Structure 1
Amino acid sequence: MAAGGVLASGIVSVRSVFGSFEDSAHMLKAVELAESSNGLTAPHPKFGCVIARGRRIVGGGGLYGQGARSAEVQAVEEAREQARGATAFLSLEPGDCGGDDAAIAALVQGGLGRVVVGMRHPLAHFRGKAIAALRRAGVRVEVGGEDFGGGGAIEAALKACQSANAPLLYRVSHNLPMSTLKYAMTLDGKIAASSGHSAWVSSAVSRHRVMKTRAQSDAVIVGGNTVRIDNPNLTTRLEGGHQPDRIVMSRALDLPRDANLWDVSKANTIVMTQKGSNLEFQKLLTSRGVEVVEFDFLSPRAVMEHCYMRGYLSVLWECGGMLSAPAIQDGVVHKVLAFIAPKIVGGLRAATPVGELGMVQMTQALKLSDVAFEQTGPDMLVTGYLHPIPDISHGDDKLASISRENVAVIPNKPSIIRFNKPWDRYGALSTLSYHPITLPDSIGNPVVWSSVEHYYQASKFAGVNDQLAIQYIAEIQGAESPEEAARLGETLSSQRPDLVRKDWDVVKFQVMRTALQAKFLAYPALKSFLLSTEGSVLVESSQNDSLWGASINGVGLNHLGRLLMDLRGEILRGPPTGNLVNGHTKTSVNDHRYFLDRCRQQVTSQ
């Protein structure tokens, strides 16, 4: 029988078009590593890399969070000399922001003989770039759906690659975050008794599974009825890790004044409503730290388009039938997670998970694809897709001819450049991008920080004569991703404000300026990238940061964008004083005063 054939039993032979079952197993392991950060950081593009010599895995790594070290770098470091001539299996084409190509460089310098890519990067500014760069470097590259076909084990491996990055695929293909509708119902299809009582429909095992799913989401959405009846917390209840934003949709804002969701000490809450609704209640929410977003007409699609603009990748709907039905009708629900408990509660008026859809015949029923069944405790979990995961395996290779030197140049430069997520087109401008910086400590010794965000958050406690403050700095410095460093710094400073340096409100602008300077002057590609934005206004588009970002409706101070534009101008014309030392500018006392005065002027001018 020829290689790649099928045995009489119907089982695909050991050799396939892709290579071997070992290849498929290695790719599945890469996907497993890619998903290892689930619940620890906010949703982000997931990368996993496995380096193998035959059946034996000699190195591996997974992207921990936004801006963390790339999976490929981790894998090559672990494999060391055994990487030479070996095969690397990548769940997703590398996509380093800013053009420094750390992942590509690691694979090339590691001497990999063959690279197998599960799927091309969905984002246009990354798609095909790494594949082309590796091939130019003489590395043999095979791409899923292009250089090898499907069938058997490899088809399952390629599907796993798509599933791992389904949120990113939906975002690119539909200009919406991936939305999952979750509900728990009894065997007779009820989510509550006739009285409205619903604690608890499903088992503790199923509820724990829901917590893990929340932790993998950017946001959780409920309607006003859920707030009034259940008074939920919508936190993950898991120690540490990512807490999603909590979104309440309510047109009339007829909500209780003392709901659990108005406590924003553990997670952000956003109330989305109709313009002009219950203005007095809006003021109350704002005074408690709840963000209020008004729409001309509140609808599931309008909310999801807003979530897309916020940079969300994944949203979990935990609403009742009154909201789930219009969400389905608006076409914004892509996946369903249904927990079915072996209980019967009855009741003609008892609530069901999906309200009226206007269907009068069973032939009109919506059918799910890729349906899977899983037992969770005594319950059955049924999952499926209302809209299949977009398949981009057969795409063009427009970016294949772009050289590494040209990556930093921005074609069709807009007058306003908005940035936020480090995986966006302009993500290198973010404080969350993975670009380690070296800065001297208080006695002049060089200290390496994994990102600008690490340095900024740790600086809150610098110089404080307290052992706990020193411990906080060490914890932040050891955070595995910039996002985790941000969460640590913000949490610790709110819990122990007495340990935050007394002059922080004054010096934090210079701290950020110093870190940005170290970052963009240490990496030639980053410096070119920043200079290529000349003539454009830079806006940090974070929706919930009114100091460093533009905040909601663009009313924030945008100090990060301002500092970057200042730095850009000073690189072009030269700083007022100072000189380059070890990749960053050594500024004098007068320079520090100059920058601090400038920052103060920017604040007062607002």
Structure 2
Amino acid sequence: MSAAEQRWIPWMRRALQLAALADGHTSPNPLVGAVVLDAAGQLVGEGFHARAGEPHAEVGALAQAGDAARGGTIVVTLEPCCHHGRTPPCADAVIAAGIQRVVVALTDPDPRVAGGGLQRLRDAGLEVISGVLEAEAAYQNRAFVHRVQTGRPWGVLKWAMGLDGRTALSNGASQWISGPPARAWVHQLRAGCDAVIVGGGTVRADDPLLTSRGRCASEPLRVVLSRSLDLPQSAQLWDQTVAPTLVAHGPVAVAAAADEAPASVRLAALQGHGVAVQQLDRCEPEALFPELASRGCNRVLWECGPSLAAAALHQGCVQELAVVIAPKVMGGELARTPLGDLGFTAMDQVVPVSLAAAQNLGRDLLLQGVVGAMPIQDGVTRGTRQ
């Protein structure tokens, strides 16, 4: 990047900060922020994409700038779109505003755009600079980008454990391993996710609520992945006035034991509560993920037991780890650990994790890492908008 282009870095950082204000609210769209500078380089407008169907970041920033945008610069974290989706093309709005320079972090890979927005701006005589803070913008939108590229959401696996790696005592007791600050952080993490997933065993053992405790206006979808549909008749998850719930199951669930309620009765009971039900080809994480992507989920959170967590990791449905380590020693040869058997027999088979962040949450330590390599600066980690 040239010295002339580096002067846009502070403004792009501001645009990224604006984009982050809508974290957890824009799915299936990405996070996008924009700032408008007048011809003298003074800030005259800011905006961010708040949620799908609402104006894009460029439109909001240009509206705030008004006539002061003429002859100026717009700095935006994603290439202005050039197609009609739920909203009109942003490239046309930029041109109509009289902007003379556009500074972009990411180019849009959507075949409807794929650089077409930037080309339309160039054809209109605007100066275009791209790639400014591309790595930061790609990481910020890693969940959206992953869904666009793979057709599956970005999976975050979270657990809390003691210093000896235990997530529960030998008798199953696990409340509370972490302290109040860590639990508050988990609620905020849920607020930034589109769905929270557990297995039937977690529902039976813990009767979880799985909400953000009011930290977001629209609570994430609560998902139960169940092989047998052997679920409690009464559970907090069935209260749809709190948050929506989806129960996903495989074909095996239709075959109930003779001394149990038939699957049809169990499904009817769930639907009577207003719970959505989805049959999958297989009751596996890799079968669930395309369904969640079709529902517009960019980022989902696994809060499940060790067997389901291991299956999700093994099947490529975990891209990020969030591990809370409490300063406690729990012991017990039979005490539960975060993950079930992954079938590894040699150290060169283990899952590599790139540490992304570490911070203290009260007395607890939070470690966050990306499974495999960090999703930045690979030339394709980019986004699109609808």
How many residues in Structure 1 have an aligned counterpart in Structure 2? 372
Question: Is residue 360 of structure 2 the alignment partner of residue 375 of structure 1?
Answer: yes
One-letter amino acid of the counterpart of residue 87, structure 1:
T
Counterpart contact for 1:49–1:71, Cα < 8 Å: yes
User: Residue 118 of structure 1 aligns to a residue in which SS?
Assistant: strand
One-letter amino acid of the counterpart of residue 293, structure 1:
Q
Q: Extract structure 1 runs of 4+ deviating beyond 6 A.
A: none
One-letter amino acid of the counterpart of residue 31, structure 2:
K
Counterpart contact for 2:351–2:371, Cα < 8 Å: yes
Question: Is residue 144 of structure 2 the alignment partner of residue 168 of structure 1?
Answer: yes
Q: More deviation in 224-233 or 47-56?
A: 47-56
**What residue number does 1:501 align with?**
none
Structure scoring higher RCO (CA < 8 A, sep ≥ 6) equals 2
**What residue number does 1:66 align with?**
52
One-letter amino acid of the counterpart of residue 318, structure 2:
V
**What residue number does 1:555 align with?**
none
Cα gap change, 1:169 to 1:78, in 2 (>3 Å): same
Q: Distance in 1 between matches of 2:84 and 2:97?
A: 22
One-letter amino acid of the counterpart of residue 228, structure 1:
R
Q: Distance in 2 between matches of 1:32 and 1:338?
A: 25
User: Residue 146 of structure 2 aligns to a residue in which SS?
Assistant: helix
Percent identity of paired positions between Structure 1 and Structure 2: 36
**What residue number does 2:171 align with?**
195
Counterpart contact for 2:200–2:225, Cα < 8 Å: yes
**What residue number does 1:238 align with?**
214
Counterpart contact for 1:43–1:216, Cα < 8 Å: no
- Residues 288-367 of structure 1 correspond to what in structure 2 (within 5 A)? 288-367=273-352
Counterpart contact for 1:224–1:250, Cα < 8 Å: yes
Across the aligned residues of Structure 1 and Structure 2, the Cα RMSD in angstroms comes to: 2.3
Cα gap change, 1:318 to 1:97, in 2 (>3 Å): farther
Question: Is residue 182 of structure 2 the alignment partner of residue 206 of structure 1?
Answer: yes
**What residue number does 2:205 align with?**
229
- Residues 45-84 of structure 1 correspond to what in structure 2 (within 5 A)? 45-52=30-37, 56-84=42-70
User: Residue 289 of structure 2 aligns to a residue in which SS?
Assistant: helix
Question: Is residue 274 of structure 2 the alignment partner of residue 274 of structure 1?
Answer: no
Q: Distance in 2 between matches of 1:104 and 1:229?
A: 53
Question: Is residue 106 of structure 2 the alignment partner of residue 119 of structure 1?
Answer: yes
Q: Distance in 1 between matches of 2:155 and 2:216?
A: 24
- Residues 467-546 of structure 1 correspond to what in structure 2 (within 5 A)? none
Which residue among 370, 374, 377 is the counterpart of 1:385? 370
Which residue among 131, 138, 142 is the counterpart of 2:129? 142
Cα gap change, 1:210 to 1:96, in 2 (>3 Å): farther
Q: Distance in 2 between matches of 1:177 and 1:212?
A: 19
Counterpart contact for 1:321–1:354, Cα < 8 Å: yes
Counterpart contact for 1:48–1:90, Cα < 8 Å: yes
Shift of 1:332: 1.5
Tell me the alpha carbon deviations over residues 109-135 of structure 1, each in whole angstroms, 9 at most, x when there is no partner.
222221111011232223212111111
**What residue number does 1:4 align with?**
none
Question: Is residue 115 of structure 2 the alignment partner of residue 128 of structure 1?
Answer: yes
Counterpart contact for 2:134–2:377, Cα < 8 Å: no
Q: Distance in 2 between matches of 1:252 and 1:31?
A: 45
**What residue number does 2:21 align with?**
36
**What residue number does 1:256 align with?**
232
Counterpart contact for 1:119–1:393, Cα < 8 Å: no
Shift of 1:41: 5.5
Q: Distance in 2 between matches of 1:74 and 1:211?
A: 30
Counterpart contact for 2:209–2:236, Cα < 8 Å: yes
One-letter amino acid of the counterpart of residue 270, structure 1:
L
User: Residue 246 of structure 2 aligns to a residue in which SS?
Assistant: strand
User: Residue 91 of structure 1 aligns to a residue in which SS?
Assistant: strand
Shift of 1:261: 0.8
Q: More deviation in 357-366 or 258-267?
A: 357-366
Question: Is residue 74 of structure 2 the alignment partner of residue 98 of structure 1?
Answer: no
User: Residue 135 of structure 2 aligns to a residue in which SS?
Assistant: helix
Question: Is residue 85 of structure 2 the alignment partner of residue 109 of structure 1?
Answer: no
Q: Distance in 2 between matches of 1:125 and 1:387?
A: 30
Shift of 1:20: 5.3
Question: 5+ unaligned residues in a row in structure 2: which ranges?
Answer: 256-262
Structure (1 or 2) with the larger CA radius of gyration: 1
Counterpart contact for 1:42–1:242, Cα < 8 Å: no
Counterpart contact for 2:135–2:377, Cα < 8 Å: no
Q: Distance in 1 between matches of 2:141 and 2:342?
A: 30
Q: Distance in 1 between matches of 2:364 and 2:37?
A: 39
Shift of 1:333: 0.9
Shift of 1:80: 2.9
Counterpart contact for 1:122–1:168, Cα < 8 Å: no
One-letter amino acid of the counterpart of residue 160, structure 2:
A
Shift of 1:102: 4.5
Q: Distance in 2 between matches of 1:83 and 1:97?
A: 23
Shift of 1:280: 2.1
User: Residue 231 of structure 2 aligns to a residue in which SS?
Assistant: coil
Cα gap change, 1:392 to 1:32, in 2 (>3 Å): same
Shift of 1:203: 2.0
User: Residue 249 of structure 1 aligns to a residue in which SS?
Assistant: strand
Cα gap change, 1:381 to 1:209, in 2 (>3 Å): same
- Residues 448-467 of structure 1 correspond to what in structure 2 (within 5 A)? none
Tell me the alpha carbon deviations over residues 366-387 of structure 1, each in whole angstroms, 9 at most, x when there is no partner.
1112532122222221111114
User: Residue 116 of structure 1 aligns to a residue in which SS?
Assistant: strand
Q: Distance in 2 between matches of 1:123 and 1:57?
A: 30
Question: 5+ unaligned residues in a row in structure 1: which ranges?
Answer: 1-15, 145-153, 396-421, 425-606
Q: Distance in 1 between matches of 2:351 and 2:165?
A: 16
Structure 1 or 2: more strand by fraction: 2
Q: Distance in 2 between matches of 1:45 and 1:209?
A: 23
Cα gap change, 1:119 to 1:188, in 2 (>3 Å): same
One-letter amino acid of the counterpart of residue 62, structure 2:
V
Q: Distance in 2 between matches of 1:380 and 1:370?
A: 13
- Residues 541-556 of structure 1 correspond to what in structure 2 (within 5 A)? none
User: Residue 37 of structure 1 aligns to a residue in which SS?
Assistant: coil
Counterpart contact for 1:169–1:389, Cα < 8 Å: no
Q: Distance in 2 between matches of 1:340 and 1:352?
A: 13
Tell me the alpha carbon deviations over residues 196-230 of structure 1, each in whole angstroms, 9 at most, x when there is no partner.
12222222222222212212222110011211111
